[in-house]
Amino acid sequence: MKVFIVGAGAMGCLYAGAFHRAGCAVTLVDVNREHLEAISANGLELETRAGTEHLPLAAVHPAEVSGTADLILLFTKTFQTDAALAGVKTIIGPETRVLTLQNGLGNDERVARHVARENVLTGVSTLPSDLVGPGRVRSHGEGGTKLYPAFSTDEGFARTVAERLTAGGLPSGLDPAIGSAIWSKAIFNAAMNPLCALTRRTPGFLGANPESRAMIRQAVAEGAATAEASGVAVDAQAILDLTEVSMSDHANHEPSMLQDLNAGRRTEVDAINGAIVEAAEQAGVATPLLQTLWQLVRLEEAKLA
């Protein structure tokens, strides 16, 4: 299987390692030249609880891609999706599948602007990963992957992808109720990511303070009410349980919004909190905390400008 990872940040590199271990031909695609050069020169340094590996992976700029992909795994920011897929259109053939494990809501429809709807896979990851330097990624924590065809019930290729990821060390499975899983992950992120970003602290800090715990409970309740009103069944207690895992097992992990603000980059808050708030407005649900967190992160982004 020829796998192109478009968006070779912390998560993209973690999944590249799994596909490589499973015997796939893996190419990392990114615009960060320093990162690409480090991987090309020394291999990807991937540190997990099992130890540190140096994986020989191809790493190229979008202008340098060639061949035809069997699978494109999309790990760019949500607001970069159109530009990213347009930038690698030469490797997209009629049978190329695109799997989005991006944060937030609406990613399947964005991808479907670039490939046939039956070739779109969508899913969620609950794995932590941090980019610690050019060519160096660390993932300390447990988790897994759920995926499924976005617009069909033909499970064949999706099952193969899940099997390869599992064989490569990242437990993965199919979930026909993937819409519920995506909403649940978005609600989790809408509660945890902004609070880490705004306090400039990791989940362990949130777990140690009653104020943040109270806001996490309220944010999850608002998100779950929005999902239910939008016709999507979610388990609020299961989402709260996942926040507990984050605050303990992933206590020192830097969530993506925190990484972005620390690096002076735009966050994905519009596709996470913003998307939930907009769905809530359509469904007539009040989400005062989620809206406040959205606006506060937007103000942090405005400071970067």
Question: Domains of the chain by range and CATH?
Answer: 2-176 (3.40.50.720), 179-304 (1.10.1040.10)
* Confidence (pLDDT) at 142: 81
Query: What does the alpha-carbon distance between residue 71 and residue 53 come to, in Å, rounded to a whole number?
Result: 24
Dump pLDDT digits (tens) for 249-305.
989 989 999 999 999 999 999 999 999 999 999 999 999 999 999 999 999 999 997
Which tokens belong to 14? 């973690």
pLDDT value, residue 270: 97
Dihedral angle computed from the Cα positions of residues 159, 160, 161 and 163, in that order, rounded to the nearest 10 degrees: 90
**Tokens 């969620």 — which residue?**
124
2, 77, 146, 185: the active-site residue: 185
Cα–Cα dist 179/194, whole Å:
22
What is the per-residue pLDDT for 84? Answer: 98
φ/ψ (deg, to 5) at 152: -150, 180
The rounded distance, in Å, linking the Cα atoms of 299 and 305 is: 10
HSE toward the beta carbon, residue 14, CA cutoff 13 A: 29
CA–CA distances in Å: residue 241 to residues 102, 125, 185, 288, 293: 21, 16, 12, 22, 21
Tokens at 281, concatenated: 């407005």
Q: Phi, psi at residue 146, to the nearest 5°?
A: -115, 140
C-alpha distances in Å from residue 102, one per residue of 12, 40, 66, 71, 99 = 10, 25, 24, 15, 9
The residues near 43 (Cβ < 8 Å, ≥ 6 apart) are 54, 55, 56, 57, 135
How far is residue 179's CA from residue 182's CA, in Å, rounded to a whole number? 5
Going from the C-alpha of 231 to that of each of 20, 126, 179, 185, 223, the distances in angstroms are 39, 23, 10, 16, 13
Confidence band of 90 (pLDDT split at 50, 70, 90):
very high
> Residue 303 has what pLDDT?
94
Which helix or strand (DSSP H or E) is residue 9 part of? none
pLDDT of residue 143 exceeding 90, the answer is no
The whole-number pLDDT of residue 41 equals 96
Each residue's pLDDT tens digit, 93-141: 999 999 999 999 999 999 999 999 999 999 999 998 989 999 999 998 7
* Rg from Cα positions in the chain: 18
CA distance 101 to 18: 15
Q: Identify whether 185 is a catalytic site residue.
A: yes
